[in-house]
Amino acid sequence: MTTKTTVDDAEVARFSAMADEWWDPTGKFRPLHKFSPVRLGYIKEHVSAHFARNAEDPAAFKGLRFLDIGCGGGLLCEPMTRLGAEVIGVDPSPVNIEVARLHAERSGLQIDYRATTAEDLAAAGERFDVVLNMEVVEHVADVPVYLAACAQLVKPGGLMFVATINRTLKAYALAIVAAERVLRWLPPGTHSYEKLVKPAEIEGPLGEAGMTIVERCGVTYNPLLDRWNRSRDMDMNYMLLAARPK
Amino acid sequence: MTNARDDNATLDVLVAGGGYVGLSLALALKKSDPAIAVAVVDTRAREAIAKDLRCSAIASAAERMLTHLGVWSQFAARAQPINEMIITDSRLRDVARPVFLTFSGDVAPGEPFAHMVANADMVGALHDTASQAGVEMIAPDSVTCYETTGETVAIELASGGTRTARLLVAADGVRSKLRDLAGISTVHWNYDQSGIVCTVEHERPHEGRAEEHFLPSGPFAILPLTGNRSSLVWSEKTSVAETLVKGDDFTFEMELERRFGHHLGALKIAGGRHAYPLSLTLARDFVKPRFALAGDAAHGIHPISGQGLNLGFRDAAALAEIIIGARRLGQDIGAFDVLEQYERWRRFDTFQMGVVTDVLNRLFSNDSDVLRAARDFGLGLVERMPGLKGTFIREAAGLSGQVPRLLTGEAI
C-alpha cells in the first residue's frame, strides 16, 4: 500500500538503532520508562471517566479498541493490553515492530503490531475508541497533514491523546540542551528545536478535523523525587486530550 | 493447598515466607484486587503456626491494617492493650528506679498505642483469612532457587515443583536465603547481646502497663499479656544470657526477680525460655528485577524500641500499595522501575529506624555515669515537652512519616 506518508526517513533510522534497548528500565530508555506512570495515570483517568469505567479497576479497558501510533518497543501497548484493551500498535520502523512483538510474546500478551503508518490505517478505514499519539508529532514531517489522518482514526464518541514538547526557549534549554547534551538522558539529535510543536499547532488541525479539545496539562520533572508530575506549566512537555463528538 | 489450581499458570506474586509480613502482604493484595494470583510458600504447615508460643507488640498502625484486612476481630478479645508505658534508667542495685518517662494516653480516643498479641493468634488468623480470600498456600515447602528470565521468574521448590511468577517477594526472615541467592549483601553487626524471651506469671495485675528498664547490660522490657502474665524481653551479654537460659530454674528466677522487681508480687516462669542473639542487619538493596525483600529479610534491627514488627507491616503495606497501583496503571508489577518506588519509599525509613535503635542501645547499655546523666537529662526534657512526647507516641504507634494507606485503616 503506498499512500502519501509524512514519516521522516532519518528519524526512523535513528530509533531503529536504539530499538533493542527499549525494554531496559535502567538503560538508554530510562527517561521514557520514568515517564510511564504520569502518562499511564492520565490515560487511565480520562478513558475511565469518558467511557464510564471504574478508574481503580485493573481491567477497566475491556471492550475498548486502542491504537498506539509510533508504538516503538511497545511501552504503552503492553500496559493498555493488561488493562483489558484490544490494542493495535503501529510504528513505521520494522525493527521496532519486531522488538515489540518479541517482547509481547515474552510477556504473554496478545498485541497486534503492524509496521505501518497512521495515514495508511486511515486510508484502510480502521477506526478506534482511543488513539494514542504520544511523543510522535515532534518527529513527523508535516504536522497538520499527519493530525488530520489521525483524527480520521477516532470513532465518533472516541478519544485522542497527544503528548509532545512545546516549542519554547525553556523547552529548548531543558528538553534539548539539558536532556540530550548535559544529562545525556537522550541521545543527541533525538529532538530538533524547529520540529517541536506548540499546543495551538495541534489544537488547530484537530479542530478543523471535527474534534473538540477536552483537557490539556503540562508535565514537569521533579528532580528531588526523580518523578514526572502533571502540572499547569505547559512550556515544556505537555499532554492534551481531544474527543470526536458522537 | 486449599484449592485445585493450575500449577503451570503464571502467578502474579509468589511470596517466600509465611510469617506475618508475607501473609499480610498476600492478603492485602488479594483483598484489594481479587483477580491477582498470589501464592505463599512456607516451611511451616498450618498446625505448626498454632505451636508458636511467642507474643508480639502490635502498634496501632498495624492494628488498623489488620482491622481493614478483617483479621483483627478474630483475636481482639485475646489481645492485651498497652495503656501506659514507663521508661526507667537504672543500675541493677538501685532499690528504687526513678521513672523518667511515662507514655500514657491514646493515639486516638479509645485506641491504645499498642496491643500484645499471641503470634499463634495473629499469624494463624492471617493465614486462614488469606487462604479463604484465595491466596494459594504451598506448605510445608521452601524455595531452593530461582531464575529471572526476561518477563517472569522461574522458582524451584524443595518439593521438586517449579512455579513461575511476575514477582518473587522474599519475606523469609533475617537470615534470608533468597537474599543471598539474589546476591544482595548486607550491613551487619552483632551487639554481643542476646535477648532472653520468656513469659512470667505474677501475683498482681499489671493494669496494661509496659515497662522498659534501661539496665547497664541492655534494655529489660516487661510487656503485659492477658491475665496476670507478662512477656519479657531481657537483654544481656550473650555469654551471660546463654548461661542463664541453660542454667537451673532457681538461678534464673532469682536473677529475674532482681531485674523485674517486686511491684507485681511473686513471679513464676510459664513455659520455656530462649535466648536470641541480637544484631543489626540491613540489606544494601531492597529490590532487583522481579525480586523484592520485605520484613526482617530487608532489615533486622535491635528490639530496643519494639519497632521491628512495625517496619515489617510497613513493608507489607507499602509493597502492596505499589503493586496494586502498578496493576491499576497496567504496568508490569515485577519491572525494576516499579519496584524501585518501593525501595525508595522504605529504605530511608528503615535506615533511620536502624540507626535510632542502634544509637539508643549504645547510649543506654552501659554503666557510665556521664552518659547516664546526659541521657537522664534528655529523658527529663522529653517528659516535660508534651509536643515531643506526642511525636514519640506517634512514632511508637507507627504513624509518622509517609504512611502507607493500609496502616491508616484505609483501602489501597
Per-residue confidence (pLDDT) for residue B66, from 0 to 100: 97
Residue A143 forms part of a structural domain: yes
Q: Which residue of B has its CA nearest to A74?
A: B331
Give contacts of B33 with chain A, Cβ < 8 Å: 58
Does the annotation flag A129 for ligand binding? no
ipTM for this prediction: 0.88
φ and ψ at residue B288, rounded to 5 degrees:
-140, 170
pLDDT > 70: percent of chain A:
92
pLDDT > 70: percent of chain B:
80
pLDDT digits (tens, 9 = 90+) for A206-228: 999 999 999 999 999 887 777 89
The closest alpha carbon to B298, from B251, B245, B350, B371, belongs to B350
Residue A100 forms part of a structural domain: yes
Does the annotation flag A134 for ligand binding? yes
Query: Domains in chain B, start-ordered, CATH in brackets?
Result: 10-66+118-188+283-366+400-408 (3.50.50.60), 76-116+194-279 (3.30.9.10)
pLDDT digits (tens, 9 = 90+) for A99-113: 898 889 888 999 999
Report the CATH number that the domain containing residue A92 is assigned in CATH: 3.40.50.150
Indicate the pLDDT class of residue A16, thresholds 50, 70 and 90.
very low
Q: How many domains does chain A have?
A: 1
Please list, residue by residue across B58-88, b when 16 or more beta carbons sit within 10 angstroms of its beta carbon and e when fewer do. Answer: bbbbbbbbbebbebbebbeeebbbbbbbbbb
* Interface residues of chain B, partner chain A, Cβ below 8 Å: 10, 33, 35-36, 150-151, 327-332, 335-337
Q: Any bridge partners for residue B336, and if so which? A: none
Instruction: Please give the single-letter amino acid code of residue B3.
Output: N
Q: How far is A31 from chain B (nearest CA, A)?
A: 11
CA–CA separation, B379 vs B107, rounded Å? 21
pLDDT digits (tens, 9 = 90+) for B286-317: 999 999 999 999 988 766 656 678 889 999 99
Residue A182 forms part of a structural domain: yes
Q: Which residue of A has its CA nearest to B335?
A: A25
CA–CA separation, A68 vs A89, rounded Å? 5
Q: Would the CB atoms of A25 and B336 count as touching at under 8 Å?
A: yes
Give contacts of A20 with chain B, Cβ < 8 Å: none
Residue A2 forms part of a structural domain: no
| Across A13-22, B19-28, B54-63, least confident range | A13-22
Q: Which residue has the higher pLDDT, B107 or B346?
A: B346
Residue A202 forms part of a structural domain: yes
Per-residue confidence (pLDDT) for residue B122, from 0 to 100: 97
Among B10, B151, B330, the residue with its CB nearest the CB of A83 is B330
Indicate the pLDDT class of residue A67, thresholds 50, 70 and 90.
very high
Instruction: Please give the single-letter amino acid code of residue B116.
Output: M
The total number of residues written for chain B in this structure: 412
pTM of the model: 0.87
Indicate the pLDDT class of residue B384, thresholds 50, 70 and 90.
low
What cell numbers appear for B192 in the block?
554481643
Indicate the pLDDT class of residue B59, thresholds 50, 70 and 90.
confident
Mutate to test the interface with A, among B8, B328, B344 (most CBs of A within 10 A): B328
B186-202 vs B267-283, strand pairing mode = antiparallel
With an 8 Å Cβ cutoff, is A31 touching chain B? no
Which domain covers residue A166, as residue numbers?
9-244
Q: Say how many C-beta atoms besides its own lie within 10 A of residue A42's C-beta.
A: 19
Please list, residue by residue across A69-93, b when 16 or more beta carbons sit within 10 angstroms of its beta carbon and e when fewer do. Answer: bbbbbbbbbbbbbbbbbbbbbbbbb
Q: Would the CB atoms of B330 and A44 count as touching at under 8 Å?
A: yes
Q: Which residue of B has its CA nearest to A24?
A: B336
Q: Would the CB atoms of B332 and A107 count as touching at under 8 Å?
A: yes
Q: Name the strand (E) or helix (H) holding A96.
A: helix A94-107
Give contacts of A56 with chain B, Cβ < 8 Å: 328
Residue A3 forms part of a structural domain: no
Positive or negative: CA dihedral B161, B166, B168, B169 = negative
Residue A4 forms part of a structural domain: no
Mutate to test the interface with A, among B166, B285, B331 (most CBs of A within 10 A): B331
Among A58, A81, A103, the residue with its CB nearest the CB of B328 is A58
Q: What value does the mean pLDDT take over residues A153-168?
A: 96
Q: Would the CB atoms of B337 and A36 count as touching at under 8 Å?
A: yes
Q: What value does the mean pLDDT take over residues A83-110?
A: 91
Name residues whose C-beta falls within 8 Å of residue A161's C-beta, 6 or more positions apart in sequence. A42, A43, A46, A130, A131, A132, A133, A134, A239, A240, A241
pLDDT digits (tens, 9 = 90+) for B156-200: 999 999 999 999 999 999 999 999 999 999 988 888 889 998 999
